[in-house]
Amino acid sequence: MSGAVVGVDIGGTFTDVALLDAEGRLTIGKQATTPEDPRVGVVEALRHVLRDAGIEAGAVTRVVHGTTLATNVVVEHRGGPVALVTTEGFGDLLALGRQARVEDDRYDLRYTPPAPLVAPALTFEVPERVSAHGDVLVPLSDAALGGVVQAVTDARPAGVAVCLLHSYAVPDHERRVAAACRAALPDAFVVASCDVWPELREYERAMTTVVCALVGPIMATYLAGLEEQLAAIGVRCPVEVMESSGGVVSTAAAIRRPVCTVESGGAAGVLAAGTIGARVGAADVISFDMGGTTAKTGIVRHGHPTIAHDFQIAGRGSFGGARPGTGVPVKTPVVDLAEVGAGGGSVAWVDPGGALRVGPRSAGAVPGPACYGRGGADPTVTDANLLLGYLGVRDLAGGVTLDRARAESAVAPIAAALGIEPVDAAEAVHEIANTTMAAAIRMVTVQRGIDPRDFTLVAFGGAGPVHVARLATQFGIRAVLVPWAAGVASAVGLLRSEPTMELVQTVLVDLDDQHADAIEAAFADLEARARRELAGADGPTARVTRSADLRYRGQAHQLTVAIPSGGRGAALTRAFHDTYRHTYGVASDAPVEFVSARVRVTLPRQADEPRRTESAPPTPAVADETRPVRFVGTGELCDTPVFDWVRLTADASVAGPALVTGADTTVVVPPGATARVDDELNLHLSPPRGTGGSVVPASEP
């Protein structure tokens, strides 16, 4: 390969950068996230990394970006205002919604569903109607169009979502409305549902479109500015953005359908864990990514992450997944993961009942944990970890020196409120954070009936390696892997991503010979469009996979079936019967209906793998220093050797109690645990066997 590739992952607290140069050398950097303009942190971190790597800015050939911008905009109710234009008679589409009381909410007599994403005053009806079979029942008159466009214009929205009934089949009216809105509101971000995700079921399609309109203006400004600012420091290569499904697309494509990036950052982490697992021979891994603001978990089985097609932003539900009817549904594909509000920056507080709580509020990047000395006064998990000795004052986190005195003064009030010593309060904070993170691991494993003990736990993110041994012990997990450069593993994972475009089109017809050509035409059209969207995907190297949503005629639900290469007609029917029998244990010979075509086109890349940074002969691990550390349950500070990760060589072994410090994270090796370094400098941790404490405290409040 020629030139250097850069992965950039923006978290709530830190911006991580990984650079892989032409020689296969990996250089990493970490910078405090700059929430008011995240690009400032990106440019700063990239500048440092280029300097550290000794690389000219012009040598960078590709920047791959993972961002949680889209999710944050939705969850924090930022962005907008967005207007929705829909078919006359359905202005209450979002207000009525498909919200369901689920789980415990069903017994909550006080339950109130969340407000719709678009206010009633910004919802507009347009007189028009198309039938399910494509007949125009009410034509869209120019007068009606002019009227609604005027009303939308008067409301001065930043984004406009247009979702008309049956536009997945007949998009003409929707396109006309969108075009007219674009003409009248040149500065607004106007999206038509047929262009975003033309799939049957108006509520989810409308919500997917609204999220686009909400996120689009922010995303467009952000990405355009990023390319400009990178160019200003000499990085003039294309920027790619990771989508929630784990593939990457151009910035132009990301702006066209920003809803596809809702789990961009999370997807990178799960993919990274899967890739690293595969390299050390672990096909089944749990990814555990703990940053400053949240902890995310996901599972990879047989080398593949699960892709969900019915994701709910901020959805609720147990059994390891958000229930339909909760949160903001988006129909675009998403790597399945769970997220909890526990990170290094999570703030500890004492509730009115006198109980110690941690999170979900985070001190974030600004002001950050108290020990960062940036004006933060609230005690955070990072402050607790510093007081417990897990972090040293010189451990650089994005160029910050940690201030122990500030951490102590921050923890003191909660210790006083609880009537205990500060170090005991710190341990309690650390343990409560562990419990919250355990819940995230539980969500993707135990709650799905999956035994976590059969998996390798891959820990990364700045705070993950600090907590992982204790978590593994709680679950009885025996194999823990902390990858080299764990603090920026998601950014490293971005380096390995491949350009991918997935598209859908509903085509509601019987699956029979009569419709075989129409179905084939839909697939061919999707494939052509996907290849167009991906520059360079027009050649034979592109990997094309087709799948179809099929069902027995008249069923309410469909099943996504992978289509064998070249499969059509009878082969499709056979694939459906087989998948159905495999999924549900039964099958019938009833007629089959075709619902939607799905195409995924991937442009394979030669895997750019970092080589070992050095190849020193194995030497016994020698501690660089010792410091007092308090391990959970020991009740005392224990003088603990501290090893410098870069100075550990392949096959070196470290016995707990010990700490292994890297440039971007610290691995806690508790008493009874051992850590071994492999020849790619990853750390394999064997946690002490637990006595089997409960994974999660009793759910009784």
Q: Considering only residues 576-605, where is the footprint of another protein by CB under 8 A?
A: 580, 583-586, 588, 590
DSSP state of 330: E
CB-nearer residue toward another protein: 309 or 406? 309
Select from 304, 314, 319, 604 the one that contacts another protein (CB under 8 A).
319
Q: How many degrees, rounded to 5, is the angle at CA 619 between CA 618 and CA 621?
A: 120
Find, among 367, 434, 371, the residue nearest to 403 by Cα.
371
Select from 3, 35, 325, 569 the one that contacts another protein (CB under 8 A).
325
Find, among 200, 113, 217, the residue nearest to 163 by Cα.
200
CB-nearer residue toward another protein: 606 or 694? 694
Answer yes or no whether residue 446 interacts with another protein by CB under 8 A: yes
In the complex, the smallest distance separating the C-beta of residue 509 from another protein, rounded to whole angstroms, is 10
The residues near 208 (Cβ < 8 Å, ≥ 6 apart) are 193, 196, 197, 259, 329, 330, 331, 332
In the complex, the smallest distance separating the C-beta of residue 340 from another protein, rounded to whole angstroms, is 17
Calpha distance 554→594 (Å, rounded): 11
CB-nearer residue toward another protein: 131 or 221? 131
Q: Which of the stretches 232-240, 442-450, 495-503, 645-653 binds another protein when contact is defined by CB under 8 A?
A: 442-450
Answer yes or no whether residue 694 interacts with another protein by CB under 8 A: yes
In the complex, the smallest distance separating the C-beta of residue 105 from another protein, rounded to whole angstroms, is 8
Find, among 72, 682, 35, 594, the residue nearest to 14 by Cα.
35
CB-nearer residue toward another protein: 34 or 123? 123
Report residue 166 CA to chain centroid gap. 31
Which pair of structure tokens corresponds to residue 182?
Answer: 């674009």
In the complex, the smallest distance separating the C-beta of residue 701 from another protein, rounded to whole angstroms, is 7
Q: Which of the stretches 91-99, 207-215, 402-410, 412-420 binds another protein when contact is defined by CB under 8 A?
A: 91-99
Contact 695, 428 (CB under 8 A): no
Answer yes or no whether residue 316 interacts with another protein by CB under 8 A: no
Question: Between residue 163 and residue 192, which ones bind another protein under the rule CB under 8 A?
Answer: 165-166, 168
Find, among 26, 49, 30, the residue nearest to 483 by Cα.
26
Select from 61, 229, 306, 318 the one that contacts another protein (CB under 8 A).
318
Residue 102 burial by Cβ neighbours in a 10 Å radius (0-12, 13-18, 19+): middle
In the complex, the smallest distance separating the C-beta of residue 448 from another protein, rounded to whole angstroms, is 6
Question: Between residue 614 and residue 673, which ones bind another protein under the rule CB under 8 A?
Answer: none
Which pair of structure tokens corresponds to residue 255?
Answer: 């702006």
In the complex, the smallest distance separating the C-beta of residue 168 from another protein, rounded to whole angstroms, is 8
Reported in sequence order, the residue ranges of 276-425 that DSSP labels E, i.e. its strands, are: 285-290, 295-301, 304-305, 307-308, 311-313, 328-330, 334-335, 338-340, 346-350, 356-362
In the complex, the smallest distance separating the C-beta of residue 373 from another protein, rounded to whole angstroms, is 41
Q: Taking CB under 8 A as the rule, which mask of x and - marks residues 131-150 in contact with another protein?
A: xx----x-------------
Q: Taking CB under 8 A as the rule, which mask of x and - marks residues 95-134 in contact with another protein?
A: xxxxxxxxxxxxxxxxxxx------xx-------x-xx--
In the complex, the smallest distance separating the C-beta of residue 252 from another protein, rounded to whole angstroms, is 30
Question: Between residue 532 and residue 571, which ones bind another protein under the rule CB under 8 A?
Answer: 552, 554-557, 559
Q: Which of the stretches 154-162, 194-202, 344-352, 531-539 binds another protein when contact is defined by CB under 8 A?
A: 194-202
CA atoms within 13 Å, Cβ hemisphere of 386: 28
In the complex, the smallest distance separating the C-beta of residue 591 from another protein, rounded to whole angstroms, is 9
> For the stretch 30-40, what's the b/e string if a residue is b when 16 or more beta carbons lie within 10 angstroms of its beta carbon?
bbbbbeeebbb
CB-nearer residue toward another protein: 85 or 348? 85
CB-nearer residue toward another protein: 480 or 489? 480
Alpha-carbon dihedral sign for residues 569, 575, 580, 581: positive
Amino acid making up residue 420: I
Calpha distance 413→535 (Å, rounded): 57
In the complex, the smallest distance separating the C-beta of residue 476 from another protein, rounded to whole angstroms, is 5
CB-nearer residue toward another protein: 295 or 438? 438
For 403, 407, 534, the CA distances from 393, given in Å and listed in that order, are: 6, 11, 47
In the complex, the smallest distance separating the C-beta of residue 434 from another protein, rounded to whole angstroms, is 15
Q: Taking CB under 8 A as the rule, which mask of x and - marks residues 483-522 in contact with another protein?
A: -------------------------x--------------
In the complex, the smallest distance separating the C-beta of residue 231 from another protein, rounded to whole angstroms, is 45
Contacts with another protein by CB under 8 A: the residue count is: 76
Contact 229, 43 (CB under 8 A): yes
Q: What is the CA radius of gyration of the chain?
A: 26
CB-nearer residue toward another protein: 274 or 317? 317
Contact 290, 461 (CB under 8 A): yes
Question: Between residue 452 and residue 481, which ones bind another protein under the rule CB under 8 A?
Answer: 453-454, 475-476, 478
Question: Between residue 195 and residue 234, which ones bind another protein under the rule CB under 8 A?
Answer: 200-203
Calpha distance 369→378 (Å, rounded): 7
